[in-house]
Structure 1
């Protein structure tokens, strides 16, 4: 396909995600097959490849392993800077393994009982085994980078390690917020940037590294991913309150039930409004919130302005991310840049 044709015919986001999953799928499965049998069974279940007995899953469950947005960001970032997506497959696999390490741990810490329309791994195999499976995925991610023997592997490993440490710091803050009544909005934004923005930024930076980009373009793509990650977290937090369980795979009001200090919630709690103060009283109550109380809490977040603020922040962050992408792309990468923008719009939609 010529550069002119690429400018005219970017693929729809769904096609890009399918392309990314197909490109990394064999390498991802090969990597997982190298794990010890005990954790491999948990990982296979978590990815939707098998049931709890280790039997191959049907077609519906195979598709339930997630959209694989982060690997697609890696692959497209390599193309945006003039490289080949195929060269970035090890980085894309490493990022997907890292992301799923964090999901396995998050589900245990948050006590979530469903993900991707299935029971979470810890509810089937136990908390300890699920944590160990997550640890195995994180170790495997660095092994994949090292085993590929690419020139960018050393820098990529350091970049991924830095992103993981930042992610862990953000997750630590998120957990600590549950024990505090005085979380400031700036603290919450910093936590979300670390918890979610770090890995999306790292994904785009790794793609740029494997695409042979100079440092300036690597930095711009990393910034694109970080801004997109924070926008994504705003949207994910909105879905954690108002999302359709049939679409999100999570129970209705799941974040409110867990009394998460999410972005729209903290915006409401710090709004100094009657609705914000009533929400704070509900969050401080000693008993589990009833269904009517959860519905009331959702209305209070909206009345206090938390919902509108998060929506506006997501839109502004998406615009900032797009500017970073404009500075990062090469003249011959219009199609890949358009597809990155399409993915960015997809992950900041409020109906997925």
Structure 2
């Protein structure tokens, strides 16, 4: 596929479709390396087959594919080749899907991308192993390139994984705690989501031959974009439409997640926060009415508006990272288009 043309009215969807056209064939070829037992689960997870291994009638795109798009655009931003960055883009997407397979098991989310989550089809243990296989495959795909900058890519990816695991660990610990501070929650989000989007941009910049300043600038862009992404994700976890998110209504409240707007409410020192804390302390499952009440309390405390403002602020900070770094203007325009899609998405 040819490089993306610079078109003023191009949408984020156009950028993602261009990226998928480059990455999807390589991703499919990479999955062919997996043992049959793990490939079956992975292909189901990506939406390419049903639970019996038969090609799905309606092939899913495998999600939004934001991370591989960031890798490709970052490589072009520093003057490199998108095609040379495809292995790094595959690695970023494999790592992301490793986290999704594990997240669904830990959260016991019954659905993913509008159908049954892999763990509920194949069992939790098998889904965990499939996630492990995708993570291993990510390193295999990178190592297979034999690039001179491979060591730098591997070091960056391992640092991302340390941050990511630390963030996920904090997220799990928060479920058992009643004293989570808002700054702790923001730090968790930076590790759980910001690290991987920042890492995707960093991998792309390294693959494209960027200098250290450009790598750090693009990684900063991705980190802030990741935080904006998480604020939006947390809003959708409470108020998202199940028809578009593919998850049950109030899904984060069902799981008593200490998401950013929830913690902002719990720590606000208001009657709404005290009532939400009481609901979260209950042992029994919350009824639909109680879940709706919890959502209303979060909005009444101002946490919904606060999270929206924070998403916009991190979006602005992400764009600021792209200034005065000698980056390709066409690629930075595409990164801006993609950032706008992340902040304004509904799923």
Residues 47 and 61, structure 2, Cα contact 8 Å, conserved in 1: yes
Aligned to 2:114: 117
Query: How much does 1:7 deviate?
Result: 5.6
3-state SS of paired residue (1:148) = coil
Cα distance in 1 between the residues matched to 2:9 and 2:202? 22
The structure-2 alpha-carbon separation of the partners of 1:314 and 1:329, relative to structure 1 and needing over 3 Å to count, comes to: farther
Query: Per-residue CA shift, 1:267-322, capped at 9, x if unaligned?
Result: 00000011011000000011110000000000000011110110010100000000
Cα distance in 1 between the residues matched to 2:9 and 2:19? 14
Query: Per-residue CA shift, 1:104-124, capped at 9, x if unaligned?
Result: 000000000001001000000
The structure-2 alpha-carbon separation of the partners of 1:10 and 1:325, relative to structure 1 and needing over 3 Å to count, comes to: farther
Aligned to 1:40: 39
Match 2:141 to one of 116, 141, 144: 144
Cα distance in 1 between the residues matched to 2:283 and 2:289? 16
Query: How much does 1:64 deviate?
Result: 4.3
The structure-2 alpha-carbon separation of the partners of 1:7 and 1:169, relative to structure 1 and needing over 3 Å to count, comes to: same
Q: Does 1:342 align with 2:337?
A: yes
Aligned to 1:325: 322
Query: Per-residue CA shift, 1:166-220, capped at 9, x if unaligned?
Result: 1010000000000000000000000000000000000000000011000000000
Query: How much does 1:10 deviate?
Result: 6.6
Aligned to 1:156: 153
The structure-2 alpha-carbon separation of the partners of 1:268 and 1:329, relative to structure 1 and needing over 3 Å to count, comes to: farther
Aligned to 1:177: 174
Cα distance in 1 between the residues matched to 2:242 and 2:326? 37
Cα distance in 2 between the residues matched to 1:325 and 1:260? 33
The structure-2 alpha-carbon separation of the partners of 1:186 and 1:172, relative to structure 1 and needing over 3 Å to count, comes to: same
Query: How much does 1:350 deviate?
Result: 4.6
Q: Does 1:276 align with 2:270?
A: no
Residues 108 and 131, structure 1, Cα contact 8 Å, conserved in 2: yes
The structure-2 alpha-carbon separation of the partners of 1:350 and 1:25, relative to structure 1 and needing over 3 Å to count, comes to: closer
Q: List structure 1 runs of 4+ shifted beyond 6 angstroms.
A: none
Residues 235 and 348, structure 1, Cα contact 8 Å, conserved in 2: yes
Query: Per-residue CA shift, 1:83-119, capped at 9, x if unaligned?
Result: 1111100100000000000000000000000010010
Cα distance in 2 between the residues matched to 1:104 and 1:125? 11
Query: Per-residue CA shift, 1:45-100, capped at 9, x if unaligned?
Result: 00000000000012x3x234101110000000011111111110010000000000
* Count, aligned residues: 345
For the aligned residue pairs, the C-alpha RMSD in angstroms reads: 1.4
Residues 10 and 338, structure 1, Cα contact 8 Å, conserved in 2: no
Aligned to 1:11: 10
Residues 276 and 301, structure 1, Cα contact 8 Å, conserved in 2: yes
Query: Per-residue CA shift, 1:105-161, capped at 9, x if unaligned?
Result: 000000000010010000000000000000000000001000011222111011011
Residues 46 and 60, structure 2, Cα contact 8 Å, conserved in 1: no
3-state SS of paired residue (2:244) = helix
Aligned to 2:73: 76
Cα distance in 2 between the residues matched to 1:93 and 1:72? 10
Residues 71 and 203, structure 1, Cα contact 8 Å, conserved in 2: yes
Query: How much does 1:8 deviate?
Result: 5.4
Gaps of 5+ in 1: none
Query: How much does 1:351 deviate?
Result: 2.4
Query: How much does 1:11 deviate?
Result: 3.3
Residues 10 and 335, structure 1, Cα contact 8 Å, conserved in 2: no
Query: How much does 1:27 deviate?
Result: 1.1
3-state SS of paired residue (1:207) = helix
Gaps of 5+ in 2: none
Aligned to 1:21: 20
Residues 80 and 328, structure 1, Cα contact 8 Å, conserved in 2: no
3-state SS of paired residue (1:325) = coil
Aligned to 2:224: 227
Match 1:256 to one of 253, 256, 266: 253
Query: How much does 1:328 deviate?
Result: 3.5
Aligned to 1:217: 214
